[in-house]
Structure 1
Amino acid sequence: MQQLAQRLDRLGTETAFSVAQAAAAWKAKGNRVYPFHLGDINIPTAPHIIEAMNKAISEGYTGYCPGPGIPQLREALAHDIGSRRGMEFTADNVVVMTGGKPVITKFLQAVMDPGQEVLYPNPGFPIYESQIEYLGGTAVPYNYVPTESGFAIDLEKVRASITENTTAIIYNDLQNPISAESSAAEREAVAQLAIEHDLWVLSDEAYFETRYEGVSNSIAALPGMAERTVILYTFSKKFAMTGSRLGCAVAPLDIAQVMSKLNTNDESCTTHYVQWAGVAALTGPQEPVQEMLDTLKERRDVACEIVNSIPGFSVAVPQSTFYLFPDVTEAMARKGFTEVGEFATAALENTGVSFCTREHFGRRLPGEERQYIRLAYSGIETEDIREGLGRLREWIEA
């Protein structure tokens, strides 16, 4: 009997989608579901972006285009990303891709040989771990420690995990799922470790502009980092274009050339007419971006207030992303649960509230004792947040 490739045993997935399937099955039985599980956005893409896409289709931009992206989009991205980070890029630094995920894979293909080690955040976006291991690398997790303002990277763990076989570190400032944001000192410490040990850095900046207070900063802008850092950029979050699948890598020229070659091998090019939508998103009216941020901020404020009123729940108010990562240890004990997955299933069936858990974002690390869940508020209206979390509170209180 024919066998599938053994490397498939090392391939993970984005497990939030499995939670979505469970929620859909529960809803199909006639139950009300409050969807806090998936980081999709229920706010439409701005009309001028859609119009630009439709115009490009009607004008015949439906064929092949350059592998690294059309010049107009690469130039717009170089200007926008550079100006917001206090850096200078040219179009040659930009490689357009079908969203942010391909940047992870192609970065690893470019800098990691089989057997080499890559540091990645845990809890963190599960595709990091999946792709490191699928491509034959060794995924080495680093963790976060809770603070009064959220979470901080365990820098001692990072430092102790670096070996002669470490080739790169994946760094997700404005982090999914825990909404952690590095302090200036923490960002500089990570940069110093990368320089000291000559590591490549993938800076996942998907939520760089999804923030409600403060100013975002990029590790790539620190001294000595531009030549070793690849920035992951996506249109999904800022412009509510999750299904359009448009993003890019901003990279040193040698890495950009490799990624462009990988584009040609993998998908030839990113959809031509979608790239014109990207040009319109960057160069057109920005009011829809602010309107979406205002909506998300309102949802954040309501969600945080109610979550912190639930017995046994505790969460810091994040300044960015659209996730909450509350500690639910005491609430689980109150309801008699020791497994967070069982707690999530019971919550769905008793309240209709659907959410991911810590287990959906990397393997639990030794010594972890606290229990966490992730609530995404990007795909649920404010009144439904009130209603759903209110039902969750009533269930916990009962």
Structure 2
Amino acid sequence: MKTARRLENLGTETAFRVAQAAADWKGAGNRVYPFHLGDLNFPMAGHIVEAMDKAIKDGKTGYCPGPGIPELRAALAEDIGTRRGMRIDPSEVIVTTGGKPVITKFLQAVMDPGEGVLYPNPGFPIYESQIEYLGGTALPYRYVPTADGFAIDLDHLRASIDENTTAIIYNDLQNPISAESTDAEREAIAAIAQEFDLWVLSDEAYFEMRYKGRSKSIAALDGMRERTVILYTFSKKFAMTGSRLGCAVASRQIAEAISTMNTNDESCTTHYVQWAGIAALQGPQAPVGQMLEVLRKRRDATCSIINSIPGMSVAVPGSTFYVFPDVTEAMESKGITSLADFSTEALHNTGVSFCTREHFGRRQGWEDRQYIRLAYSGIGEADITEGLGQLRDWITQG
């Protein structure tokens, strides 16, 4: 029987395919060092688990309001607003089943078929997937390497805008490349959005996953509040990836639209998980700091070893839990021309499993360097040292 043609435009989060290849290799009796998936191998804090259990025991297992329970919406408004220097009303907060649905619902709210949406490339692959699935035109904007990591090519971004462009997806503290905007870059994006009257999705999944300094939100800049939707998630900061809890912060016009979509799509976000979210926001924050300290040590170990491998180099990122090293010369030294082949050969010869640039949006014609992404969120420091040591030995064998 026939299926809908739109399915041809639906991509996926291809990191899960790498995970399957790693699982198959491990299942065959081989050692695997898992750098491929951005999940966290930290347990949810005890007070969050207790709050969820209590909510279940208290009978909070049925339907609840589609936009979220009032207590969580109020807690989110207070926490998100305080950390960004904004005043947010609880009515502007719509609870969702994780951060990812905010991408789809933002696009459904602001983009008609045929309209263009700018998105980062390399970037989270669901941006590209959902723009095209919903009938939009995906407009990739690029990053250029700098001594400190990567910066948005603002001239290229501006040149990509035409009369049909309606929105821009902006992921400060970016997955996969860990790029963080300077104040000047953030202000330039805001100016472009206002000049061309664009909606903005500010994906702030990693807003508090940083090792120094303080994050800033584009939504807090003058003229940006009404045109910006903030994507917030509990997954990273509170190690709640499987709990599926997040929210959109938006003007009431967009908030009401997303609330209606919630009712149509999921009815509501799991009731008892929302009470766990309140405990996460209002309870002890020490577990967050402890997790970040462990991640910082993993980052340092990862970057130190990568930069000791001939033909590989990476800037030390100040946020997220990813690195995006240039491996161009390392591949050449092994006589490998395909990133897919490099990934497979590395897995089979060293046990190190990672994603490549090809997993984060379609490769563009302007790209002439080769990159891989290593996530250190789910692998301990000892295994980082051992696994990347194996990778170094393999590379240096020539």
Same fold (TM over 0.5): yes
Structure 1 match to 2:137: 138
SS in 1 for 2:235: helix
Distance in structure 2 (CA, Å) of the matches to 1:134 and 1:367: 25
| Corresponding letter in the other structure for 2:334 | K
| Corresponding letter in the other structure for 2:78 | H
Distance in structure 2 (CA, Å) of the matches to 1:337 and 1:172: 32
SS in 1 for 2:294: helix
Structure 2 match to 1:18: 17
SS in 2 for 1:180: coil
**Residue 104 of structure 1: CA displacement?**
0.1
Distance in structure 2 (CA, Å) of the matches to 1:373 and 1:334: 16
Which structure 2 residues correspond to residues 304-315 of structure 1 after superposition, within 5 A?
Answer: 304-315=303-314
Distance in structure 1 (CA, Å) of the matches to 2:213 and 2:344: 36
Structure 2 match to 1:183: 182
| Corresponding letter in the other structure for 1:210 | M
Distance in structure 2 (CA, Å) of the matches to 1:23 and 1:179: 23
- 4+ residue stretches of structure 1 with deviation over 3 A? none
TM norm structure 1 = 0.99
Distance in structure 2 (CA, Å) of the matches to 1:238 and 1:190: 26
Which structure 2 residues correspond to residues 106-121 of structure 1 after superposition, within 5 A?
Answer: 106-121=105-120
Q: What does the per-residue CA deviation read over 1:100-143, in whole Å, with 9 as the maximum and x for residues that have no partner?
A: 11000000000000000000000000000000000000000000
| Corresponding letter in the other structure for 2:181 | S
Structure 2 match to 1:325: 324
Structure 2 match to 1:45: 44
SS in 2 for 1:238: coil
SS in 2 for 1:375: strand
Which structure 2 residues correspond to residues 102-251 of structure 1 after superposition, within 5 A?
Answer: 102-251=101-250
| Corresponding letter in the other structure for 1:306 | I
Whether 1:355 aligns to 2:354 is yes
Distance in structure 2 (CA, Å) of the matches to 1:214 and 1:234: 20
Q: What does the per-residue CA deviation read over 1:308-327, in whole Å, with 9 as the maximum and x for residues that have no partner?
A: 00111100000000000000
Distance in structure 1 (CA, Å) of the matches to 2:155 and 2:338: 29
Distance in structure 2 (CA, Å) of the matches to 1:223 and 1:255: 19
**Residue 214 of structure 1: CA displacement?**
1.4
SS in 1 for 2:236: helix
SS in 2 for 1:167: strand
| Corresponding letter in the other structure for 1:316 | A
Q: What does the per-residue CA deviation read over 1:339-393, in whole Å, with 9 as the maximum and x for residues that have no partner?
A: 1110000000000000000000010111211000000000000000000000000
Distance in structure 1 (CA, Å) of the matches to 2:62 and 2:339: 48
Distance in structure 2 (CA, Å) of the matches to 1:193 and 1:163: 12
**Residue 261 of structure 1: CA displacement?**
0.2
| Corresponding letter in the other structure for 2:311 | G
Whether 1:372 aligns to 2:371 is yes
Distance in structure 1 (CA, Å) of the matches to 2:284 and 2:374: 30
Distance in structure 1 (CA, Å) of the matches to 2:132 and 2:366: 23
Structure 2 match to 1:391: 390
Gaps of 5+ in 2: none
Distance in structure 1 (CA, Å) of the matches to 2:89 and 2:291: 29
**Residue 15 of structure 1: CA displacement?**
0.2
| Corresponding letter in the other structure for 1:216 | S
Which structure 2 residues correspond to residues 37-76 of structure 1 after superposition, within 5 A?
Answer: 37-76=36-75
Structure 2 match to 1:291: 290
Distance in structure 2 (CA, Å) of the matches to 1:293 and 1:14: 25
Distance in structure 2 (CA, Å) of the matches to 1:314 and 1:298: 18
TM norm structure 2 = 0.99
Distance in structure 2 (CA, Å) of the matches to 1:390 and 1:92: 51
| Corresponding letter in the other structure for 2:24 | A
Distance in structure 2 (CA, Å) of the matches to 1:86 and 1:319: 21
Task: Give the paired residue count.
Answer: 397
Q: What does the per-residue CA deviation read over 1:147-192, in whole Å, with 9 as the maximum and x for residues that have no partner?
A: 0000000000110011110000000000000000000000000000
Distance in structure 1 (CA, Å) of the matches to 2:307 and 2:242: 33
Q: What does the per-residue CA deviation read over 1:35-85, in whole Å, with 9 as the maximum and x for residues that have no partner?
A: 000000001000000000000000000000000000000000000000000
Which structure 2 residues correspond to residues 275-290 of structure 1 after superposition, within 5 A?
Answer: 275-290=274-289
| Corresponding letter in the other structure for 1:182 | S
Distance in structure 2 (CA, Å) of the matches to 1:80 and 1:365: 39
**Residue 213 of structure 1: CA displacement?**
1.1
Considering only aligned residues, what root-mean-square deviation do their CA atoms show, in Å? 0.4
**Residue 215 of structure 1: CA displacement?**
1.1
Distance in structure 1 (CA, Å) of the matches to 2:334 and 2:260: 54
SS in 2 for 1:359: helix
SS in 2 for 1:236: coil
Which structure 2 residues correspond to residues 261-272 of structure 1 after superposition, within 5 A?
Answer: 261-272=260-271
Distance in structure 1 (CA, Å) of the matches to 2:213 and 2:93: 27
Distance in structure 2 (CA, Å) of the matches to 1:190 and 1:217: 13
Distance in structure 1 (CA, Å) of the matches to 2:146 and 2:202: 23
Distance in structure 2 (CA, Å) of the matches to 1:375 and 1:367: 23
